[in-house]
Amino acid sequence: MSLRVEHPAPVLRRWKCELTIERNKRNRMQIKTILNRVQKFKSFVFGTVRWIEGASVPTLEVAIQPRINSRPVCSGCGCKRPGYDTLPERRFEFIPMWGNRVFFVYAPRRVECPDCGVRVERMPWVEGKHRLTEAYAWFLAGWAKRLSWKEVAEAFRTTWDHVFCSVERAVMWGREHQDLSGIEAIGVDEIAWQRGHRYLTLVYQIDGHCKRLLWIGEKRTVKTLIRFFRWFGKERGQALKFICSDMWKPYLKVIAKKAGQAIHILDRFHIMSHLSKAIDAVRAQEVKELKEKGYEPVLTKTRWLLLKRPENLTDKQEIRLADLLRYNLRSVRAYLLKEEFQFFWSYISPYWAGQFLDKWCTKTMRSRIDPMKKVARMLRRHRPLLLNWFRARKQFSSAIVEGFNTKAKLTTRKAYGFRTYLCG
Ligand SMILES: [Zn+2]
């Protein structure tokens, strides 16, 4: 009976083991080969590639080593310098492969530089103190042109901050390399993130022939926009013909001061989104009241009916909207006011547009719907700037004005990865 089990187990085990090593070697070879194709560094080589067990997302780590006999380069001056010591290993995130996160692992050397002192060496895959490799940052920034920043973060299992940081790096790079001559029209926009606690100010070029993101700054204060104009330069600022922005006070102030010669336009997109927000507030309040009074929930699931343009509704939604409009609800009256306001944009003459605006505001002020009254007051306050929209369109019927219309604005936003939020 002992004959049947004559050492097959150890033999088999050894054979299996060799096979695994061989297979691993082959796998490793393949990943290294790919990396050498896409990202080869002169003075560094890729070492072992390994799986990180137990990570929440499948993760690959690729070791990087300095090529034998290569001397480190000082990150300060870019010269080859004698080594000083070696720092602990650091991880740099690279472009994910087949849904796996990929990290480069490298223990940076420090150099003793006669000019710069003791410095970390230059690593060609990363810039400064970033944790994302250059390749990954460009990869994310590229996707951020097609998807919203949030979507990019989700798709590649990274954070909003990393995506933002990558876009910022791309814009910074652009700042140093782009041609800023001949810019006549800019748009100033803000985005909120972290649940509205933090803001960014974005400035685009919106000329007919060229739409692009020019500048990103933190917050949305007077200082923020002043920083933009300082960077942009006095001469270029004074050559601007159009500026498009929201009714945000700090922006209005700075624009009037720094580019008073330009026609300042409050864009349609922002104005309509103020109205949409007002409707949202009215509806939310009314839903609550109806519920408390125990009425049939006529307003539940009507948000999109009231916010979408009628031409974008499906047949079914159209029927439901018609049904809803029979009720004398504040939400319905607010909706009708907003739809009426759409006529404003169809005027050609600034004078008649102004007349319409005044009538609409008076009517809205009598509506006893507070959020709508708030918008009406705001529009009244900015009457001249609102009417600039018509002056600009009259004066320049060309592609330039297209930059201000909702559709173009939306495309620009989308092109730079904004969530296209609701508009009129
Ligand atoms: Zn140096």
Mean pLDDT of 142-170: 85
d(CA 172, ligand 1 centre) in Å? 24
d(CA 121, ligand 1 centre) in Å? 9
The band of 107, judged by pLDDT with boundaries at 50, 70 and 90, is very high
E strands along 26-71, which residues? 44-52, 59-66
pLDDT higher than 80, residue 412: no
The band of 360, judged by pLDDT with boundaries at 50, 70 and 90, is very high
d(CA 415, ligand 1 centre) in Å? 40
Local structure of residue 70 (DSSP, 8 states): P
d(CA 166, ligand 1 centre) in Å? 27
The band of 362, judged by pLDDT with boundaries at 50, 70 and 90, is very high
Structure tokens at 209: 């022939």
d(CA 68, ligand 1 centre) in Å? 21
Give the Cα separation of 401 and 265 in Å (integer): 10
Mean pLDDT of 390-396: 71
Q: Given this model, what pLDDT does residue 390 score?
A: 83
The band of 409, judged by pLDDT with boundaries at 50, 70 and 90, is very low
Tell me how many degrees the CA angle 42-46-48 measures, rounded to the nearest 5. 170
Q: Given this model, what pLDDT does residue 25 score?
A: 57
d(CA 128, ligand 1 centre) in Å? 14
Q: Given this model, what pLDDT does residue 423 score?
A: 24
Q: Given this model, what pLDDT does residue 358 score?
A: 95
d(CA 85, ligand 1 centre) in Å? 15
d(CA 94, ligand 1 centre) in Å? 27
pLDDT tens-digit readout, 240-252: 988 888 778 898 8
d(CA 114, ligand 1 centre) in Å? 7
Range among 15-24, 175-184, 389-398 rated most confident: 175-184
Range among 87-101, 162-176, 196-210, 291-305 rated most confident: 87-101
d(CA 81, ligand 1 centre) in Å? 8
Give the Cα separation of 177 and 164 in Å (integer): 20
96 with 157: CB under 8 angstroms?
Answer: yes
The band of 70, judged by pLDDT with boundaries at 50, 70 and 90, is confident
Higher pLDDT, 350 or 414: 350
The band of 399, judged by pLDDT with boundaries at 50, 70 and 90, is very low
Q: Given this model, what pLDDT does residue 4 score?
A: 45
3-state secondary structure 387-409: HHHHHHHHHCCCHHHHCCCHHHH
Query: What average pLDDT does the chain have?
Result: 81
Residue 308's CB is within 10 A of a number of other CB atoms, namely 16
Nearest Cα residue to 286 out of 310, 271, 303: 303
pTM of the model: 0.61
d(CA 109, ligand 1 centre) in Å? 13
Higher pLDDT, 80 or 316: 80
Structure tokens at 62: 């690729």
- Separation in Å, CA 251 to CA 224, 237, 248, 255, 414: 9, 14, 6, 6, 23
Q: Given this model, what pLDDT does residue 193 score?
A: 67
Mean pLDDT of 47-73: 88
Only one residue has tokens 């876009």, namely 167
Strand 44-52 to 83-86 pairing:
unpaired
> Which residues, at least 6 apart from 327, have a Cβ–Cβ distance to it below 8 Å?
298
d(CA 49, ligand 1 centre) in Å? 32
Higher pLDDT, 404 or 203: 203
Higher pLDDT, 29 or 91: 91
Local structure of residue 284 (DSSP, 8 states): H
Range among 36-50, 115-129, 159-173 rated most confident: 115-129
Give the Cα separation of 242 and 256 in Å (integer): 12
Only one residue has tokens 């959020």, namely 371
